Amino acid sequence: MTLATYGKPLAMKVILLNNIKKLGSRFDVIDVADGFAQNFLIPQKKALPATPENLGNIDQIKSEQAGAIAEERQEVEVVIKALADVSLTYTALANEQGGLYESISTATIAELLKDQANLDLDEAYINLESAIKSTGEFEVPCTYEDITGVCKITVSAEKEEK
């Protein structure tokens, strides 16, 4: 390792096999940290190393996954369209100003959708700019490629027992 590269993580080119928020779309060829690719993306089957062989076979990989992609798109479209009829509720401890002691993340919203509306939506499709940290009514956009919907959630304060 030369002095110029000291401290920089090694980069690895990979082909994404899934849409990954803040990383890229399915079949994009991107550079990621070597450890991220080796320890997460490749073992989780979310990416393939961008070897000359894999790059040459990308059309075959696309055709192999075409059926699964179409099925996933159809399932997600049904769920996102169903969000129009859903209104979730969440109760949490809050201070007098309405600030929550715990924040509500995309994982929490995905769990609420499953428990309250019997809808299974991967948290990767829930576009929460930042965690919800106060009581009130919120509209959280959900997107999958060009399909969009809105998840409504009402957050109220839990009454404290004295």
pTM score, whole prediction: 0.71
For the chain, give every domain's residue range. 7-56, 80-157
Reduced 3-state DSSP string for 98-111: CEEEEEECHHHHHH
pLDDT in tens, 52-104: 998 888 888 888 888 888 888 899 999 999 998 899 999 999 998 889 999 99
- 7-56: CATH number: 3.40.5.10
How far apart, in whole angstroms, are the C-alpha atoms of residue 36 and residue 12? 9
- β-bridge pairing 87-92 and 147-157: parallel
Q: In what order do the strands lie in the sheet with 147-157?
A: 87-92, 147-157, 136-144
Looking at CATH, the fold of the domain delimited by 80-157 is given as: Ribosomal Protein L9; domain 2 (3.10.430)
In whole angstroms, give the CA distance from residue 72 to residue 18. 11
Amino acid identity at 118:
N
